Amino acid sequence: MLSMNRPEILNIDKAIVDNAVSLWQAGQLVAFPTETVYGLGADAANGEAVARVFSIKDRSKFNPLIVHVAEVAIAQRYVQWNKLADKLVEAFWPGPLTLVMKRRVFCPISELASAGSDTLAIRIPSNPVALQLLKAFGGGIAAPSANRSGRVSPTTAQHVTEEFGDAIKLVIDGGPCSLGLESTVIDISTDTPALLRPGSVTRKALEELIYPKDDKQKVVAAAAKRELRVPEPNEGDPKSPGMMASHYKPSIPVRLYADTVAADEALLAFGPEPLAGAANTLNLSPKGDVIEAASNLFAFLRALDKPEYKAIAVMPIPAEGVGEAIADRLRRASA
Ligand code: TXA
Ligand code: MG
């Protein structure tokens, strides 16, 4: 049953934390901020609550969810831990890195969160509001980005209410997300780690940590390329369905690598010299900084996604560092 009231948008205090925890314990959904994007959270151990997430998002049941926890010790109860996980966690948790690992035999997390596979995706977010909520809850919260399937991820509480109206009871407002781009997803469930989704923790940072360039490794390096495997989007059955080409789609066309712009187009600009002549221009980063651009990407795509424009023209953005993740999301937006 949908309530007739608008969802509340609240700033965090003890009463709100208690409210969120009670809703989670009752199998309800609560949207909350993370440093990446807003998540639509459910008790990950409650199959019905997890099913509610899929249904409200109109999401294919075969797309697994990320489980959010407050502490490494909790993650270790869910998945088969390994040395590489220790290394990655020491460097990047809490933060925008999701680890895909094998589920433990007696993993209490709903199989639906794994979409039936024997792996589970986990992360500890660094956003203080998210951590406060997760600590109070104690267990794992399964949370996809709080948008309807195939739409741009929300980076403010306002975006979440635009997506779902009154269909969720509580949206916790932690202000705009500091990073604005979903977490990097790395699969370390096999001997050859694969980058399933680029993000703010860059491929370079991961490769340097996983394949350190010390002398001993030079011999090995001759045989192995010391690079993360990147699964092709259309390579058989994609391991991470989030890799599918048609995600992150505004409702009007997105035109990449624009070097001119038409009067009936909106312009997503980058750098100190935005193209002239667009119906509306938003500049991801006037100073040409890819991190600033990442934090603005989804909010600006949303703002320019208006039927009065024929398309969103996007200026070229360097695909290095976080730029790889921006290029990835823009490619999907234009697919
Ligand atoms: O930054 C984020 O990761 C945000 C915030 C809320 O934490 N969450 C998010 O969730 O982006 P979602 O559901 O929109 O994307 C999760 C990604 C998808 O690409 C999904 O396919 C992949 O993680 N994934 C989840 N579990 C997986 C698993 N067991 N194996 C492989 N990929 C998995
Ligand atoms: Mg998503």
What are 62-83's pLDDT values in tens digits?
689 999 999 999 999 999 999 9
Q: How far is the CA of 275 from the centre of ligand 2 (A)?
A: 30
240, pLDDT greater than 60: no
3-state per-residue secondary structure call for the chain: CCCCCCCEEECCCHHHHHHHHHHHHCCCCEEECCCCCCEEEEECCCHHHHHHHHHHHCCCCCCCCEEECCCHHHHHHHECCCHHHHHHHHHHCCCCEEEEEEECCCCCCCHHHHCCCCEEEEECCCCHHHHHHHHHHCCCEECCECCCCCCCCCCCHHHHHHHHHHHCCEEECCCCCCCCCCCEEEECCCCCCEEEECCCCCHHHHHHHHCCCCHHHHHHHHHCCCCCECCCCCCCCCCCHHHCCCCCCCCCCEECCCCCCCCCCEEEECCCCCCCCCCEEEECCCCCCHHHHHHHHHHHHHHHCCCCCCCEEECCCCCCCCHHHHHHHHHHHHC
Q: Which of 62, 65, 100, 114 to mutate to test the pocket of ligand 1 (most atoms within 8 A of CB)?
A: 65
Which whole number is the average pLDDT over 266-276?
98
Model confidence band, residue 233 (pLDDT cutoffs 50, 70, 90) = low
Model confidence band, residue 127 (pLDDT cutoffs 50, 70, 90) = very high
Q: Residues 111, 200, 162, 43: is their CA dihedral positive or negative? A: positive
**Cβ(162)–Cβ(147) below 8 Å:** no
Burial of 80 (0-12, 13-18, 19+ CB in 10 A): middle
Model confidence band, residue 55 (pLDDT cutoffs 50, 70, 90) = confident
In sequence order, what are the beta bridge partners of 66? Answer: 121
Q: How far is the CA of 66 from the centre of ligand 1 (A)?
A: 5
> How far is residue 236's CA from residue 243's CA, in Å, rounded to a whole number?
12
What percent of the chain is modeled with pLDDT above 70? 86
pLDDT tens, residue by residue, 81-105: 999 999 999 999 999 999 999 999 9
- pLDDT mean across residues, the chain: 88
Q: How far is the CA of 10 from the centre of ligand 1 (A)?
A: 26
Q: Give the residue among 196, 312, 310, 295 at the shortest CA–CA distance from 249.
A: 312
Model confidence band, residue 198 (pLDDT cutoffs 50, 70, 90) = very high
Q: Is the pTM of this model over 0.85?
A: no
- Residue 196 CA: nearest ligand 1 atom is 32
Q: Give the residue among 15, 52, 10 at the shortest CA–CA distance from 167.
A: 52
- Tell me, what's the pLDDT at 321? 83
pLDDT tens, residue by residue, 297-317: 888 998 999 999 999 999 999
pLDDT tens, residue by residue, 247-270: 567 999 999 999 999 999 999 999
Q: Using a 6 Å CB cutoff, which residues line ligand 1?
A: 34, 36-37, 39, 63-66, 98, 100, 114, 117, 119-121, 143-145, 182-183, 185, 196-197, 239-242
> How far is residue 53's CA from residue 42's CA, in Å, rounded to a whole number?
7
232, pLDDT greater than 80: no
Q: Which ligand is nearest to the CA of 143?
A: 1
Which whole number is the average pLDDT over 114-133?
93
- Tell me, what's the pLDDT at 56? 87
Quote the tokens at residue 234. Answer: 């259309």
Model confidence band, residue 236 (pLDDT cutoffs 50, 70, 90) = very low
